[in-house]
Amino acid sequence: MNDKDQKKSQKVLVELENIDDECDQNGISFVKIDNDEEAKEYGIENLPALVYFEKRIPHIYDGDLENEDEILEWLVEQLETDEIED
């Protein structure tokens, strides 16, 4: 990861910290990885990225990673619209 990517990742982490309490209230947990090879296993080509897992199926967020309100809205929507049947 180069300097530009690391700076972007730090900005994204700040945004996620801003919504951490709301996510906790909805039962949404964050896990951070910084291994490019592991990220590729989940279909993540570019870092930083945000992925929501529904029953082990990854859903990659394609919005603005520096917009905390948009991120929170997307995460809650993912949680509420559980589409994968048991």
Amino acid 6: pLDDT: 82
Q: Supply the pTM of this predicted model.
A: 0.81
- % of the chain exceeding 70 in pLDDT: 92
Q: 3-state SS string over the chain?
A: CCHHHHHHHHHHHHHHHHCHHHHHHCCCCCCCCCCHHHHHHCCCCCCCCCEEEECCEEEECCCCCCCHHHHHHHHHHHHHCCCCCC
Structure tokens given for 6: 């690391």
- Where residue 47 falls among pLDDT bands split at 50, 70, 90? confident
Residue 2, pLDDT > 70, answer: no
Q: What is the pLDDT of residues 66-84, one digit of tens each?
A: 999 999 999 999 999 876 5
